[in-house]
Chains A and B, each alone.
Chain A
């Protein structure tokens, strides 16, 4: 065999091998954010800002129902004061669990409102995308859950959540967050915070069920989501959200 031919065969062999390797590895490459391609996001959570009175009963019920450790919150309530001079003052003492005290300002309050926050259970959750050990995932109902028996506690998901909904539970040393009370909704109960809300500011249910309290809202009302620019596509949606809310 002459040298040229041998080289040619050698080169072709390497390219075929390389190409084959590339093709076989391609589906394994880390995908983009489309972590929950095949999931049905059947539930939605609606927060009506104009109904929230900031009593903090939701935060309390959540802490009890889910034994949330001190100083961390699966849900919390923020209070916004927008003053005449354009200043925005936000507070959430103890996550709003004890309600709020009246506040005085130098400038006149132009508008003020409460914003309950919780896990957004995104369609393309950033936290699920980054978890290195699949300890956080989207359940088949579209609820984002944490597997605390598998979680290594690296806090990468805590960093990845744009909403501050996650924390490291000091007792289990794993990631923790709102599950929309998965144990309740699986048995047909409402999430604890929705149950105790005295004004109906929190609504939860299946989107596809006409009997559900969120069905009409999702289909007919104008809704907003938090930080749409992240592309996370939250399933927790807001009615009457102000531009100052992040």
Chain B
């Protein structure tokens, strides 16, 4: 491993960075959940009809990401076997102790919604298959094959209800992750009331972006034609949310700069000396200005579908990098400067090991593999639209 390079003075316990890349990808994955869910709710609750082709998939996406939102934390904990202490003996003054409950609540909510949406499909699969497979689908259907019009009407109502309470829950889940950082008064880089809002906005942005890319890739892989109206609509939403997100990020740093509290000199040094690439170049220039302009052009002008999609998907990819860079800059950046405000340390990302880069890549890949498996069990892209879909 590389030597940790420090400059200036750090408290002797601060040399090591305690929150590693695992804590970077934890809010990243959680953010994808919130974003994907918001997209599905745009259709289910707000009736954005253009998003119909992707409504089901976004819900599945949210579910798959949600399954792995906690995993990076387990890899980071000193005692993962005690992880359930967080729910068994929660401390009610701790922001973190809420996570177990909020997460479980949200998981149940998404699971329920998915179940109602896919129920007709599960039932038909159960009726079609035989043997062990039938048993499996019977289990998924909880042994109930009732698809009468009245029952489906109830399902539709429940889907609407779940999607509606899902929106505040998604906002709560991710705003809460921002609050974990924003409420730490000991760290001037984190402690800002804007933090939860920024986290939420960047979550929505990253969720939309990942859906655009996944949708496009799946369509290409299946040899199907992507619905251009749907993509167009997604680009517009992406642009809109990204404007808000970037404005907030700018406001945060501008306020810090203008107020120039005593910690500003070390934060500005941290940003230039340590995060020059990930903050100044990635987060604030290349990956923000380019998609901002491109998405503006895509949303406001008429152009050929293929050109629009190329620009849109390129922008989405850049935005995914921007959000990842933002998480990195918040989590790692906040630990690079000393609380004595007199020195900087470095974070050396190991490649192998429990908290290494390789593990992080695997953990980010897992939700996508889950999506694939999910699609094997319950095909998401069926041509005929089941009746139950609201």
Contact = CB atoms under 8 A, between A and B. Distances in A.
Check whether chain A touches chain B (CB < 8 angstroms). yes
B96 A156 contact: yes
Q: How large is the interface on A (under 10, 10 to 19, 20 to 34, 35 or more residues)?
A: 35 or more
B94 A131 contact: yes
Contact of A173 (B14, B78, B338): B78
Question: Interface size class for chain B?
Answer: 35 or more
B4 to A, nearest CB: 10
Interface in B84-99: 85-86, 88-99
B335 A150 contact: no
Contact of B77 (A126, A150, A154): A154
Interface string A216-231: 0000000000000011
Interface in B1-53: 8-16, 18-19
B339 A155 contact: no
A165 B14 CA distance: 9
A160 B89 contact: no
A168 B78 contact: yes
B83 interface: yes
Given A30-B98, A152-B85, A152-B86, A132 B9 contact: no
A136 B342 CA distance: 28
A173 B15 CA distance: 17
Contacts of B304: none
Nearest to A31: B93
B185 A230 contact: yes
A166 interface: yes
Interface stretch (A69-77, A106-114, A189-197, A199-207): A69-77
A30 B18 contact: no
Given A152-B79, A152-B86, A164-B340, A230 B186 contact: yes
A125 to B, nearest CB: 11
Q: Looking at chain B's contact residues, is the secondary structure mostly helix, strand, loop, or mixed?
A: loop
B94 A129 contact: yes
Given A126-B185, A154-B96, A246-B342, A133 B11 contact: no
A9 interface: no
A117 interface: yes
Contact of B12 (A73, A135, A162): A73
Interface in A44-99: 71-73, 76, 78, 88-92, 94-95
A230 B183 CA distance: 12
A160 B78 contact: no
B112 to A, nearest CB: 20
A135 B77 CA distance: 14
A151 B91 contact: no
A55 to B, nearest CB: 17
A140 to B, nearest CB: 17
A130 B179 CA distance: 12
Interface of B: 8-16, 18-19, 73, 76-80, 82-83, 85-86, 88-99, 180, 183-187, 334-335, 338-342
